[in-house]
Amino acid sequence: MSDSSPNEMRPPLPPFTLETAKQKVRAAEDGWNSRDPERVALAYTPQSVWRNRAEFVTGRAQIVAFLQRKWAKELDYRLIKELWAHDGNRIAVRFAYEWHDDSGNWFRSFGNENWEFDERGLMARRFACINDLPIRESERLYRWPLGRRPDDHPGLSDLGL
């Protein structure tokens, strides 16, 4: 994992408008749905600070290690994020993702994230609160092929989540 160069930019850049905040949220969703830890980590500053549930992560190397552990446990992971609020260089989102464990038990995990970006559009701080709800396979709502959510797939509000 290489550190970012001082010229590295990750548009859209703050301050965010409604439209650019929505673009940033969709870009984050697409990155996480790739399940590629190295790719995802490049959206964060080299010194990015996270709180994810009760785990504290600092820097890209720890982000990569965290995501490798996460996606080794959370199989067939599919995520939808939705903009909640934005102001200046901050964005708040709500999200839900579906996954199963290695025993075939399905879950829908719900949460909220607060993000803060630097002037280059890299995320410097991420705070996530997440709760897991066991679901039956028949209750799954995210059935698109692994990877990016199709543009015509309903979002969280459309699904009543």
Instruction: Select 18-139's CATH number: 3.40.50.2300, 1.50.10.20, 3.10.450.50, 3.90.190.20.
Output: 3.10.450.50
Q: What is the pLDDT of residue 117?
A: 98
| Domains of the chain, residue spans | 18-139
Answer yes or no: is pLDDT of 2 > 50: no
Answer yes or no: is pLDDT of 3 > 70: no
Q: What is the pLDDT of residue 104?
A: 97
Looking at per-residue confidence, does 86 or 5 come out higher?
Answer: 86
Do the Cβ atoms of 93 and 81 come closer than 8 Å? yes
47 Cβ contact partners less than 8 Å away, ≥ 6 residues apart: 58, 59, 124
Helix (H) or strand (E) holding 51: strand 44-52
Tell me the pTM. Answer: 0.95
SS (H, E, C) 86-141: EECCEEEEEEEEEEECCCCCEEEEEEEEEEEECCCCCEEEEEEEEEEEEECHHHCC
pLDDT digits (tens, 9 = 90+) for 68-110: 999 999 999 999 999 999 999 999 999 999 999 999 999 999 9
Measured at the CA of 33, the angle between CA 31 and CA 34, to 5 degrees, comes to 65
Dist. CA 148–CA 95, nearest whole Å: 15
pLDDT digits (tens, 9 = 90+) for 97-148: 999 999 999 999 999 999 999 999 999 999 999 999 999 999 999 999 999 9
Answer yes or no: is pLDDT of 7 > 90: no
pLDDT digits (tens, 9 = 90+) for 20-70: 999 999 999 999 999 999 999 999 999 999 999 999 999 999 999 999 999
